[in-house]
Chain A
Amino acid sequence: MIDRGTTASTVKERAQLALNDDFLRKAVKFTTERLRNGKEAAAEQHGNWEEWRERGKQIRLHTIAYLDYYLNLFADNARANGVHVHFAETADEAVKITLAIAEHRGARSVVKSKSMVTEELHLNRALESIGVEAVETDLGEYIIQLAGETPSHIIIPAIHKNRYQIADLLSAEAGEILPPDTAILAGFVRRKLREKFLEADIGMTGCNFAIAETGSMVLFENEGNARMVTTVPKTQITLMGMERIIPSWADLEVMATLLPRSATGQKMTVYMSGITGPKRKHDADGPEEMHIIIVDNGRSLQLGDPEFQELLNCIRCGACLNACPVYRHIGGHAYGGTYSGPIGAVLTPALNGNVAEWDDIANASSLCGACYEACPVKIPLHEMLVYLRRRKVEAGRGSKAESLGMKGFAAVMGGARRYRTALKLAQLGQKLVVRDGGIRMKVGPLKGWSSYRVTPALADRSFRQRWDTLEQEIRSGLSEIDPTVQKRMEQKRQERGQEQGGHGHA
């Protein structure tokens, strides 16, 4: 994970970096709100959204429940279409197969369309290590590749960069100063990448869906770069998570209804392409040779696990990121893995099979359930986050400070005398740090809280300390009550007593 652009090691540290970056916070908030509102409007306009979600969920559940059957069918059909199919259990194997193809084809350059799987595999670095140039061609991905970073959003990878930063990056590439004008910057990228497409030896893609019954792979995109990548170079390599399967083209209608609307609020992405094998004998374009590498890389760990199997239903739309209040504040890089937001918080530890090492990202959630509400295939992410936290504690990886704190809390609260003593000590002690009725000091045990807020001081006299006085006031107050009011209250009490057999508060 060296390309992250930050070396902070815990979610908390990374989030701190993000929280202090005002632009990032505003950009992420603006974009995610726009996408979320777009999604809600699109779902509303389409109508019967709940029924479509349910259908989407059922199709995904069915496919995963019979994944052995459908994946096998897909592989056989893809092979019959002339595709070279490969299976990779680990990231390492997938990388080896890719590099072997690149070497045998004498490739010097690879053009890539957006693919989260290749991010998982850190494929660009591997290709560069054997002297093959790997060029990201999605506009956002190209920008962050130039910046030497990784995507911070599954749909809008360069969400964290402003146009001035982008102009600087592209100017360095162009060798001339480009103004921070979106049309000019995009125009430069179009020209630059045109050359790259035409000279590339290999086109590399991910895969949104793979259709088992015909062995076809389907890509959704807006820019046309995935079409370029699958049309122009002589060799195509598709890396596909083993769970990307759907049974039929009929099922694709449901996915095509859910995915674009959930991702960006579009009725349809500009391009949806179904690729079935390499170019036919008399075709004048399309790849001559096509490889599909089916990747496990931790996915099968979810199979048969009742708490996490539904993770494999994910269609990678990013709606949970846009809906998540925590993501909106800390941005994608804070999660520290390939996938960010609520899906990343669950998927990263799940794919890595080492819950313990990633345990802190399960805490980057308020468990509000907005992710579940947004999910087009109804994955209960908020429940999975609770399972992760439970597994972490069960594995003895709970925070030491937290359990020590809990023990201390139990000891203090367990006896009235101990509590009184602790309170008095705190009231005395805080005199050193309280200013204007609050604690603003950013050190010590309250640091995490005080960095962004003011901790209110303890009252000079607590409620319990004031109780004697309060009690007296109330008692004497009651005796001074207006006799007519007192009478009315008595009367009411009697009436109620008769109706309900003495229970005044049914």
Chain B
Amino acid sequence: MPDTERSWLAEMESRSLAKQEAFINGIAAKLQRPRVLDKPAHPFRGAPDFWQTFEWPVTERIERFTENFRSAGGHVSRLPDLDAARSFIAGKAAEMEARHILRQDGPELEALNLEGCLPEPVRVAVWNREPGDNWKERAAEADFGVVYADYAAAYTGSITVLSDAGKGRSVSLLPTVLMAIVPVERLKTRLGEILGDFDRSGTGALPAGIHFISGPSRSADIENDLTIGVHGPGIVYALIIG
């Protein structure tokens, strides 16, 4: 960034800080009381009490997740281990004639070793492995995006993916088909069990992107007619492992 731009941003920053003071003071004045500087007691934080302890046993979590994800138009397969996941993905790649596969980086998907089992001409790229490549374009041309989920919630049928250097946000977004591997121990009952972790980790420790995905991209904007795959992946597989 050129120096002129840097100084422009700095100037905007100092103007914003001054404005913040006036803006916040204005709110306190409208509320007709002095400004509140200490954290107020929040007796209604989070879900109602009866909800906080609600939990399904693992078999029911799997059933409900499957039911919810399918009713949103997604596919679910329960597989015993990563080997089965590898064969499943390879099988789908052959069936759909996938050419470009993009996967997240990370030890679990490294162990999955898709690269070793998919024959030419299928190309498996690993997100951000070589710096400088235009990874967004790699993601846009990919037929399959393969991710390893950080969490899942059965009650809403949602998969959660967190971003980092090896885990691009584009991998779960730009490819035509999304394959999400969900280890069963990461499958929770409620959204709240996942969201609580973000409160606990707090500012500074959160990833830039936290994405909950609950099925294929959809729209009903044309005459209420459901369309799948409008911008994001139109075909989404959740592979529950274990």
List residues of chain A with CB under 8 Å of any chain B CB. 27, 30-31, 34, 48, 51-52, 55, 58-59, 62, 65-69, 71-72, 75, 77, 80-81, 84-87, 89, 100, 104, 137-140, 143, 156-158, 162-163, 166, 182-183, 185-186, 189-190, 193-194, 198, 213-216, 222-225, 227-228, 230-232, 242, 247-254, 256-257, 264, 266-280, 282-286, 294, 296, 300, 303-304
Contacts and interface: CB of A to CB of B under 8 A. Distances in A.
User: Which 4 A/B pairs are nearest by Cβ-Cβ distance?
Assistant: A224-B232, A250-B46, A140-B221, A282-B165
A249 B206 CA distance: 12
Contact of A231 (B9, B39, B68, B209): B209
Contacts of B45: 59, 247-248, 250-251
Contacts of B58: none
Query: Which of B23, B139, B163, B221: most chain A CB closer than 10 A?
Result: B221
Contacts of A182: 222-223, 225, 227
Contacts of B213: 270-271
Interface string B36-80: 111110111111101000000000000000001000100000000
Interface string B208-242: 11111111111111111101011111000000000
25 contacts: A55-B44, A55-B47, A72-B20, A80-B203, A86-B19, A100-B12, A137-B231, A156-B224, A157-B221, A163-B222, A163-B223, A194-B140, A214-B202, A223-B231, A224-B230, A230-B209, A247-B45, A250-B195, A271-B217, A276-B210, A278-B208, A285-B136, A286-B208, A296-B23, A304-B32
Given A137-B231, A139-B221, A300 B48 contact: no
B232 A156 contact: no
Interface of B: 5, 8-9, 12-13, 16, 19-20, 23-28, 30-32, 35-40, 42-48, 50, 68, 72, 127-128, 131, 135-137, 139-140, 155-158, 163-165, 168-170, 173, 190-192, 195-196, 198-199, 202-204, 206-225, 227, 229-233
B169 A231 contact: yes
Contacts of B158: 268, 272
Contacts of A189: 230
Contacts of B128: 282-284
Nearest to B139: A285
Given A253-B195, A267-B156, A104 B8 contact: yes
Contact of A84 (B12, B23, B136, B165): B12
B15 to A, nearest CB: 8
A90 B158 CA distance: 38
Contacts of B136: 198, 231-232, 284-285
Contacts of B164: 280, 282-283
A242 to B, nearest CB: 8
B231 A193 contact: yes
A145 to B, nearest CB: 12
Given A68-B35, A282-B165, 4 more contacts: A69-B40, A198-B136, A256-B156, A285-B139
A152 B20 CA distance: 34
A89 B23 contact: yes
Contacts of B169: 227, 231, 285-286
A138 B158 CA distance: 22
A26 B20 CA distance: 47
B224 A30 contact: yes
B31 A224 contact: no
Contact of A223 (B23, B139, B232): B232
A155 B163 CA distance: 28
Nearest to B232: A224
B221 A138 contact: yes
A227 to B, nearest CB: 5
Contact of B173 (A85, A227, A253, A274): A227
B30 A198 contact: no
